Structure 1
């Protein structure tokens, strides 16, 4: 059942695309969703499920942005984001460039191209991963276009 919301609203977002199949082993990403289902169990609105990769995914239609899932995520990859900001980084990998490339085909490698491209200065690379400041983001999509690893997404699906 969809929740009636007034725009703009807040909703949960999972900063992991599942390409890495996060593991605790040496080869896999240690920073992504591990598919533990803690968020699925905690959500009273049925807004979270695991996708085909075993990664948590949020149905914004059902999510009310309460943050319960954020609190229980052991990997800290779930964030509450403002729905009016469409550009998101779907990665939490903190590994450096070459190591991140080995772990996931679409991981952020901290190259900084998005940061240099952003005219609003809304993106900073922190711990080898891009982070978007939603208060500054203009949702222009230049970061999505320029990201060589496709770790930044337009949630509208217009620019991907």
Structure 2
């Protein structure tokens, strides 16, 4: 059952799209979701589940942005975001370009195209990956369209395919 919310509302977001199938201690991305399920078990609203890749996924209709999932995530990749902003970075990989490319088929490689294309100055490369400052983002979608690795995308599926 969907919770009644006033627009704009907030929801949890998992900054990983599952292309890396992150597993702690093994070769590959160590910054993504490890599929431990801690967030799933702590969510009283049934808003989080593990998808076909074993990555946590949030159902925005059920999420009340209580932040409990964010607190228990051992990877610290869940954050609360304003749902009025549909453009998100679904990658937390901090490895440099070539290494990130080897680790995940859809990782951010910190190329900076998104930063250059953003007319609002909302996108910055930090720790080798893109970060969107939601209070500045206009949700124009240009960064998602131009992202060569598809690490930035539109949750509505207008500018990019939803995943």
TM-score interval for Structure 1 and Structure 2 normalised by the shorter chain: over 0.9
1:48 is aligned to 48
For these two proteins, the number of residue pairs brought into alignment is 160
- Contact 1:115/1:125, CA 8 A, preserved across alignment: yes
The ranges of structure 1 where at least 4 consecutive aligned residues each deviate by more than 6 angstroms after the TM superposition are none
- SS class of match (2:101): helix
| Corresponding residue number in structure 1 for 2:83 | 83
Q: Distance in 1 between matches of 2:80 and 2:116?
A: 25
Structure 1 residue 25, shift from structure 2 partner: 3.9
Please state if 1:131 is matched with 2:134: no
- SS of 2:39's equivalent in the other structure is helix
Unaligned runs of 5+ in 1: none
Structure 2 unaligned spans of 5+:
none
Name the CA distance, whole Å, in 2 between partners of 1:107 and 1:61. 27
**Would you say the 8 A contact 2:145–2:153 is kept in 1?**
no
Match of 1:5? 5
| Aligned positions of 1:74-113 closer than 5 A | 74-113=74-113
Q: Secondary structure at the residue paired with 1:119?
A: coil
Determine the C-alpha separation between the residues in 2 that align with 1:42 and 1:2: 18
- In structure 1, the partner of 2:117 is 117
Query: What TM-score, normalized to structure 2?
Result: 0.97
Shift of 1:28: 1.3
The SS at the match of 2:44 is coil
User: What TM-score do the two structures reach when normalised by structure 1?
Assistant: 0.98
